[in-house]
């Protein structure tokens, strides 16, 4: 129950942050969503009802599935690379949608 609640809170907070306009909040929201999805994939491996997936210590029928763990390791590496790329885009960007553009007060009718 606690794992499901943690996954829900992580994904809800990530969606809230992604819906903001600031690029840093979008990056943080992406990180929270990726952590929530990683926990979801790990929960599908049913680690709490199975033994460790080392065949020398346990039988094949009682061992946990190692595939979700491999998927999560791959997802962690990919999410770190995408996070670094998004941070570079946030630093390189010269304009930000959060800042208001100053209004000169006059409209130019140049054609």
Q: Which range of residues forms the domain containing residue 17?
A: 1-50+62-94
**What pLDDT band is residue 15 in, cutting at 50, 70 and 90?**
very high
Give tens-digit pLDDT for 77-97: 999 999 999 999 888 876 666
pLDDT for the residue numbered 42: 87
- Give domain status of residue 9, yes or no: yes
pLDDT, mean of residues 19-34? 92
- Give domain status of residue 82, yes or no: yes
DSSP class per residue in 16-75: HHHTSS-HHHHHHHHHHHHHHHHHHHHHHT-GGGSB-S-TTTS-TTTBPPSHHHHHHHHH
- Give domain status of residue 109, yes or no: no
- Give domain status of residue 55, yes or no: no
The helix-helix angle for 23-44 and 67-92 (nearest 10°) equals: 180
CATH number (domain holding residue 22): 1.10.287
- Give domain status of residue 30, yes or no: yes
Higher pLDDT, residue 22 or 80: 80
Of 6-15, 38-47, 55-64, 97-106, which one has max mean pLDDT? 6-15
- Give domain status of residue 45, yes or no: yes
pLDDT, mean of residues 103-110? 63
Tokens for 81? 């690379």
- Give domain status of residue 12, yes or no: yes
Mean pLDDT lowest among 2-16, 42-56, 73-87: 42-56
- Give domain status of residue 38, yes or no: yes
- Max CA-CA distance within the chain? 81
How many domains in the chain? 1
């Amino acid at each position: 129950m606690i794992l499901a609640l943690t996954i829900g809170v992580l994904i809800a907070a990530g969606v809230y942050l992604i819906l903001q306009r600031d690029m840093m909040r979008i990056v943080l929201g992406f990180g929270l969503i990726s952590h929530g999805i990683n926990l979801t994939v790990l929960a599908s491996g049913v680690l709490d009802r199975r033994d460790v997936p080392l065949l020398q210590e346990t039988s094949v029928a009682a061992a946990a599935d190692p595939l979700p763990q491999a998927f999560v390791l791959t997802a962690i590496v990919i999410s770190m690379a995408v996070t670094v790329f998004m941070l570079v885009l946030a630093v390189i960007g010269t304009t930000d949608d959060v800042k208001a553009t100053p209004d000169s007060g006059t409209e130019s009718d140049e054609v």
